[in-house]
Every structure is written in structure tokens, then in C-alpha cells.
Amino acid sequence: MQAAAPILAIDRLVVAPAAGGAPVVDGISLAVSPGEVLALIGESGSGKTTLALAALGYVRPGLAVRSGRIRLGATDLLGAGEAKLQDLRGRRATYIAQSAAASFNPALRLDAQVTEPARVHRLRPLAEALAKARLLYRRLDLPEPERIGQRFPHEVSGGQLQRFMIAMGLIEGPQLVVCDEPTSALDVTTQVEVLKAFKAVIRDGSTAGLFVSHDLAVVAQLADRIIVLRRGALVEQGTTEAILAAPQEPYTRELIAACRRWDRRRPASPPRVAACAAAPARLEVVDVTAGFGPREPMTGRPTITAVDAAALAVRPREVVAIIGESGSGKSTLAQVIAGLHPAAAGEIRLDGAALAPAVARRSLDQRRRVQIVFQMADTALNPRHRVGRIIGRALAFFGRAPRARRPARIAELLALVRLPASYAERRPGELSGGEKQRVNLARALAAEPDVLICDEITSALDTVVAAAIVRLVEDLRDRLGLAVLFISHDLATVATLADRVVVMRRGKIVERGPTGELLARPTHPYTRLLLASVPELRIGWLEEAAGRRAALLPEFAETGAAPVADVDRGREDAHAG
């Protein structure tokens, strides 16, 4: 493959802020041959998106190319004028963006947008382009390929929209497709479908791919070669086999370890389950139903049911994981337990005593004993308050430390989440994502809780950072004897952490059991589908997964795409009414 003349050749490229400052891309060289897929792996701030956009001769406003060369075939992109770039974009090189929802014009029909490259480049009659688009829709497994393109972007689901984006990228048979995290915003079950369709289409021709991702496991399924980036610099490159089997650089090894750790074939040690099974339940969720919109007069149920008769229990020193995709009701359940979203029916019990549905009716001590940590570390800390004040408020509010003892206690809590005491003086804006999440945990721990609810606390974090947070939660459980309810969309995340797993789908609990058992022998078809969809860090997984999925009930083979949008839209209607 390396023998052929490269389609894309980037030579010692330096991109930096136009106003001056440290380079975002710092002297990177790479080449992509026809038919080859090269993956760029990196965490946020690695410069991978800037590098990917440069492959189309595009630099975002505020950035400028300092030096280097970019060639697409024989064309020098940095020397090319706007007209020349226009001519090759959408034709010879195309771009598939991360957020399909934001990248489609909300006011134009999908057909018009997918066929627009043909229209602006005057390559072929519109009817022919439309026929090609429909062919792609069919190959990408979009329902009703003849008609679906007549819809507006907001009328299809997220997974479907991502497939339209792929169709738009491939319609003119480009020499190079640049994909920027094309599946990161999707649920895992949807991701497999999109990856499979994408791979099938791209493998057919001589199209080369530049694939940007933070997820090694996803990349392993598609890429021939991998480049690892960090802070704008190239860390390591090699064939996918070589990188996975024999990484040379410590950073690469760290990345791989963070993925390997979550291999489902090595679940948590079973003895722990037996150990805590004897203790009485600390937190009990008894047949809780909750939702949005006005109650139905006959049944007393909300119009949109988000949680449907859910029941579970968490014992001290135990981690119970709730797994579900968007729209499964898992976060609503977390809020019901925290008293932020009163249930329509059912009961929450703490050490056997029922808690009031609304937080305002719970006693100070009850509120203190149940603490919740949220997904978005960024928005969970008041940007105007210093860390010391954020934690101090919780201490003062629950009367856990007299004023004089407070600074010392804040330092203790910061130490508990492995942050230096000096962080008390910082504002959230001065912390990284992982550090913010640690402060969130510290604030919850300030209340000295018995129950800790973690609502997707690792979902917005980079892989390595997320792994560290999981280890921290594990550690806190052991040291403080917490009962932890760990909510996640990702089975892999909880595989090593959780003692027991509860799987939710469309508001209902479909399966539960000790982690090892459930991962090894899932009984419910949805659990099997979910398990089959979690990307694994090995080549060939995608094909196996697709095979396994096809064998599952047809009912679940189609679910990947649809339910997300249904639930979201239903919720909006409920607010309207």
C-alpha cells in the first residue's frame, strides 16, 4: 500500500493561533495512500480536528498555517486559491463531521443537501445525483430510501442523520474522505450499524480515509494505520496491528491500557458480591414510575413515561450499575432518587425508611445521606465560585464542620479525591475535566453521605481520565463504605467497577444480575445486543459483532436508530401541553 503515490501528503505542518501562541498542530507529517484508512487518535486538545480540516485546505478562523505543505494528489492545497479549493472540496476530498445535527442546514431537505456537491460542481444531472444518493441510502440501511431524503434534518434520528452525512461525503466518489469522530455522538448499538455501513461503503472503492477519533476500539475496526497525537505533536505511528500489539511509547500504552481494562471478558471478581449480599439494603427503589407531562386521569401515570415500575436495591460497600442508552430513563431514575424529579408512583427507601418524593420535603439529614454527582463536570461547578467555597458551602449547609475547621476539612476532602490542597483557591475554569469531576466528588463527600449516585460521571471525559475516575470511585466505596449507584451508557465502563448491573431500556429494567454473570451469560436479547455492540480493542471485532447482531431478534436489530428521537420528541410535546 505504501508503494502507491499518496493521495494526501502533509509535510511538517505547523498551525498556530493567528494572534500568536503555542502551535495547535506542531510539525506533523503524514501520508495516506489510495484505498488506505489512516486513523488519528488523540484526546481533546491534541490538534486532531485541526489536522483533519487541513487535509481539505481549511483552517478555522483564528488559526493560521505557519509552515509546512499539504498536497492532495498533485495539488498544493496551501498554494491553491479559493476557487481551486472550492473545486476539489466535496468532489475529490470530502468531510464527515462529528455532529450531524449541527452540520445539516435545518431549513433544507436532506436530498438537496446530500446532492449539493453534484449541483455546485456541475458534475452530473440532478436526477442522476439523486439516484446515486438513494443507492447510498439503501446501502447505508436507511429506511425507505426512496422517500426519506424528502425529510428535513430534524425529522430523522441521530443515527440516521449521521448516515446521511456519510452519504453526503461519499456521493461523488472522492479520493479522500475525512471523518471527524463520525460516531462519537451515537449510542453504541447505533454506532455499530453506522460503522458497519461506513466500512462496507468505503472498502468498496479506492477511496482513502482519514479517520479522527478518541476511541481506539472504534479505530481498530476501520484503520490500516494509526497515528497517535498529543498536544499537537505526533507521539507514535504504525500499522493497527503493530500499535495494538506492541506500542512503543508510554502514552500509547496508557491509552491502550485504559481500553483493555474494560475488556468484558475480564469482569470484576465475584467474591465481593457474596460478601455484601448479606447486608441489608441501604437504598431501595420500589416500583418507581416517573415521567413528564400531565398525569393521565385514569391511571395517574404521566403522559410520557420515562421510568416504568423500576425496582432495585443497593447495599453498603456495593456498586450497582444502571446501564442504558439515551432515552432509557436511567438519568430520570437518578433524579427521582435524589428528589429532583418527584416520582408519579413508587417509593424510595433509605435504610428501610421511605423518603419524600420531593427534595424539599426530605429532612436535612436525609438529604445529606444521599448525594448525587452529575455528568457534565463543566456545568456542575459554579464558575464564579472558588473550589474552597464550593466544597465549603456543602460543609456549612450540612453542618459538617465548624467554620474554624473548614479549611482543614476542605484540604482533607481534596486529598480524598487526590487533589492538592492548594486547589481550594482555584476557580473551575482553571481545572481540567477530570479535576472538575474530582471536585464534584469532593463536594458530594463533604456531606459524608451513605449513598452516592454517579450520573454518567465519566461520559464526558477522555479515556485515560475516565479510567482514573472509575478507580477513584472504587477506592471511595472501599474506604468510606458507600453504597454507590453508578449510571452509565457504557457496559465496558462498569465491567470492573460494578458488583451488580441493572440494564434499562425505554424506562423498564430488562435484566439484572451480578456483573460477571450478566456479562458472561446475558439472557435478555437487548442485553445481548448491547454487549455485542461495545467495541473491543481487537481487529475483526466489527465483523463478528455484526454477525452476532444479525442473529439476534429482528426486533432489536432495528432499534439502534429509532428510539432516541422518539423519546426526546415526546418529552418536548409534553412540555408544550
Partner 1 sequence: MHPSLRFALRRFAVGALILLAVSLLVFVGCEILPGDVAQVALGQFATPESIRALHQQFGLDRPAPLRYLEWLIGILHGDWGMSMGTKVPVAQLLGERLANTAMLAGATTIVAIPLALALGLLMALRAGSRFDRAASVVVLALSATPEFLIGTLAVMLFSVHLNWLPAVAQVTFGGGWAALARSLLLPVITLSIVVAAQIARMTRATIVNLLDLPFIEMATLKGVPRRRIILVHALINAVGPIANVVALNIAYLVSGIVVVETIFAFPGVARLMVDAVQARDLPVVQACAMLFCFAYVVLILAADLLAVLFNPRLRRGIHPDGSAG
Partner 2 sequence: MSAANEALSPPARGPRNALFAVAAGVLVAWALIAVLAPLLVPHDPTDFVSDDPFAAPSRIAWLGTDYLGRDLFSRLIAGARISLFMAFLATLLAHLLGGTLGLMAAVRGGLFDAAVSRIVDIALSLPKIIVGLVVVAAIGTSMTVLVIVAGLVYAAGVFRIARALGADVAVMDFIRAARARGEGAAWLIFGEILPNIIMPLAADFAIRMSFAILFMSSLSFIGLGVQPPRADWGGLVRENLSALSAGSWAPIFPALAIASVAIALNLLVDAIGDRRQLARIRDE
Which spans of this chain sit near partner 1 (rule: CB under 8 A)? 53, 56, 58, 60, 82, 85-91, 94-95, 97, 99, 102-108, 116-117, 120-121, 152, 154, 168, 568-569, 572-573, 575-576
Please list the helix, strand and coil fractions of the chain in percent, rounded to the nearest 5, in that order.
40, 25, 35
CB closer to partner 2 out of 439 and 530: 439
By three-state DSSP, how is residue 250 classified? helix
Q: Which stretch binds partner 2 (CB under 8 A): 154-162, 292-300, 334-342, 479-487?
A: 334-342
Residue found under cell 461495545: 534
Q: How far is the CB of 148 from partner 1 (least distance, A)?
A: 16
What distance in Å separates the CA atoms of residue 529 and residue 189, rounded to the nearest whole number? 7
CB-CB neighbours of 269 under 10 Å: 11
**Contact set for partner 2, span 431-470 (CB under 8 A):** 440, 443, 447, 460
Q: How far is the CB of 336 from partner 1 (least distance, A)?
A: 21
- Please provide residue 568's backbone torsions phi and psi, each rounded to the nearest 5 degrees: -60, -45
Report CA dihedral (462, 466, 467, 469) to the nearest 10 degrees. 150
Q: How far is the CB of 331 from partner 1 (least distance, A)?
A: 15
What distance in Å separates the CA atoms of residue 205 and residue 355, rounded to the nearest whole number? 61
84, containing H or E segment: helix 82-88
Q: Which stretch binds partner 2 (CB under 8 A): 11-19, 310-318, 417-425, 562-570?
A: 11-19
Report CA dihedral (106, 108, 114, 116) to the nearest 10 degrees. -120
Q: CA neighbours within 13 Å on the CB side: how many for 29?
A: 5
CB closer to partner 1 out of 98 and 305: 98
CB closer to partner 1 out of 122 and 265: 122
What distance in Å separates the CA atoms of residue 327 and residue 306, rounded to the nearest whole number? 8
112, containing H or E segment: helix 110-114
Site string for partner 2, 345-374 (x = CB under 8 A): --------------xx-x-x--x---xx-x
| Nearby residues of 522 by Cβ (< 8 Å), 6 or more positions away | 511, 528, 530, 531
What's the DSSP call for residue 72? E
CB 201 within 8 A of CB 29: no
What, of partner 2, partner 1, none, does residue 106 touch, CB below 5 to 8 Å by kind?
partner 1
Residue 44 sits in the site that holds partner 2 (CB under 8 A): yes
What's the DSSP call for residue 270? T
CB closer to partner 1 out of 105 and 299: 105
Q: How far is the CB of 353 from partner 2 (least distance, A)?
A: 17
Residue 269 sits in the site that holds partner 2 (CB under 8 A): no
CB closer to partner 1 out of 155 and 351: 155
CB 395 within 8 A of CB 449: no
What, of partner 1, partner 2, none, does residue 376 touch, CB below 5 to 8 Å by kind?
partner 2
What, of partner 2, partner 1, none, does residue 559 touch, CB below 5 to 8 Å by kind?
none
What, of partner 1, partner 2, none, does residue 360 touch, CB below 5 to 8 Å by kind?
partner 2
Residue 380 sits in the site that holds partner 2 (CB under 8 A): yes
What residues pair up with 446 in beta bridges, in sequence order? none
What, of partner 1, partner 2, none, does residue 56 touch, CB below 5 to 8 Å by kind?
partner 1
332: left (phi over 0), alpha (psi -120 to 50) or beta: alpha
Residue 338 sits in the site that holds partner 2 (CB under 8 A): yes
How many residues line the site for partner 2 (CB under 8 A)?
49
Q: Which residues bind partner 2 (CB under 8 A)?
A: 17-19, 21, 24, 44-50, 60-63, 98, 180-181, 214, 335, 338-340, 359-360, 362, 364, 367, 371-372, 374-376, 379-385, 393-394, 397-398, 440, 443, 447, 460
